[in-house]
Structures are given as C-alpha cells and as structure tokens.
Amino acid sequence: MEYNAHPSAIIDEGCVIGKGTKIWHFSHIMSHCTIGENCNIGQNVVISPDVILGNNVKVQNNVSIYTGVICEDDVFLGPSMVFTNVINPRSAISRKDSYLKTIVKTGASIGANATIVCGNPIGKFAFIGAGAVVTKEVLDYALVIGNPARQRGWMSEYGHKLTFDNDGFAQCEESKEKYQLKNNLVSKIA
C-alpha cells in the first residue's frame, strides 16, 4: 500500500488511491473512487462512489464530495464545504439517474462552508470565498463571494487579488507573474 489511511477510515472496494496520499480519521471513501497522488483527505470526509480527484488535492475536514464531482490537480476544498449532485432532490423519489457532473479545474480553491450547486463548472485557479453559494459557472481566475456567489474580481495562481491597469495587465504581488484581462477573460502571460 503506497498511501496512508488512518485505521478509522473506511475505504470501499474498487478504489484507486495514488502514492503518497493521506486519508485521516473517520473518513469514508466509497466504491470506485479515483484519488490521485499526494492528496490529503481530512478527517470526517465523505467521498461518494465514482468521484475523481486529481493529484495534490487538499480536502479539509468535514467535506462531502458527491457522485458526479471531478476535481483536477491542485484543487483545495475548504473545511465543511459541500457539493450537491441533484437539482431537485426529494426523499421519496430516487434521482440516481439524474446526477449532474461538476468539474473543478486545476488549481481552484473553494473556501470553508461554501456550497457548489451541481452542474456548475469551477474554472482553473478560481477562488470561491468562504460561505459562498455557487449557482452558475465560475470563470478561470475569478474571485466569487456571497449567496448567491457573485464575481468580485480576479485572482492570481498564488491566490492574490489582481488589479488590472487601463491596458488590461496585472502582476501577482508574490510571484511577479503577469496576467492579461481581455474580453472578460483572464490568462497568464508566459
């Protein structure tokens, strides 16, 4: 076994878990999940069947990741955040054939207690503020906050708010990497 799981963790049959991944106390990894290398799955996490997590995904305590979710590499899921997977759930009606796919792209961060309503893609390096309720697509590098979540700016790959000049250029204060805002889309300048 090339990953490390606390004795209280439950890992169902058919899971693929990458080298260097750590799974902490009282977490349940349900059947047929794929978890990449060097992930950190916090305490009391539930990962439902068929979920896919890329490499270096950080899942903080008390997170629920339901069937239909795909997280690419380097995603951060803050404490007690949650995904949904059905738009119109009812206790007495099975909607397992109605799960919607939600993709969280490379490098995105989702803050503590945020809720991601299913079917809304989260762009690469997007930043979802604590407690936000995401009800629509989030663009690459976008900063969204509130309920419902609304865009309030742009973030660098290092997690700093970007301030664009009149020509549509900005620089990350930490990495010094440069970004361009054009047609309401941000890209990193190589």
Q: Looking at residues 37-61, what average pLDDT do you find?
A: 98
Digit-coded pLDDT (tens) for 116-126? 999 999 999 99
Whether 56 has a pLDDT exceeding 90, the answer reads yes
Rounded Cα distance, 14 and 30, in Å: 9
Range of the structural domain that residue 123 is part of: 1-155
Whether 36 and 113 map to the same domain: the answer is yes
Whether 148 and 173 map to the same domain: the answer is no
Whether 138 and 186 map to the same domain: the answer is no
Whether 167 and 84 map to the same domain: the answer is no
Whether 18 has a pLDDT exceeding 90, the answer reads yes
Task: Extract the tokens encoding 24.
Answer: 């902490």
Whether 81 and 170 map to the same domain: the answer is no
DSSP string covering 28-62, please? EE-TT-EE-TT-EE-TT-EE-TT-EE-TT-EE-TT
Q: Looking at residues 135-156, what average pLDDT do you find?
A: 98
Rounded Cα distance, 122 and 55, in Å: 17
Helix (H) or strand (E) segment spanning residue 83? strand 82-83
Whether 45 and 126 map to the same domain: the answer is yes
What pLDDT was estimated at residue 51? 98
| Confidence (pTM) | 0.96
3-class secondary-structure state, position 180: strand
Q: How many CA atoms lie within 13 A of 45 on its CB side?
A: 26
Closest CA to 137 of 153, 119, 162, 152: 119
Domains identified in the chain, total number: 2
Digit-coded pLDDT (tens) for 74-113? 999 999 999 999 999 999 999 988 999 999 999 999 999 9
Q: Looking at residues 62-66, what average pLDDT do you find?
A: 97
Whether 90 and 120 map to the same domain: the answer is yes
What pLDDT was estimated at residue 190? 75
Whether 183 and 114 map to the same domain: the answer is no
Q: For residue 88, give the CATH number of its domain.
A: 2.160.10.10
Whether 118 and 188 map to the same domain: the answer is no
Q: How confident is the model at residue 32 (pLDDT cuts 50, 70, 90)?
A: very high
Q: What is the mean pLDDT of the chain?
A: 97
Q: Looking at residues 157-164, what average pLDDT do you find?
A: 98
Q: Looking at residues 52-69, what average pLDDT do you find?
A: 98
Whether 114 and 173 map to the same domain: the answer is no
Whether 130 and 178 map to the same domain: the answer is no
Whether 14 and 76 map to the same domain: the answer is yes
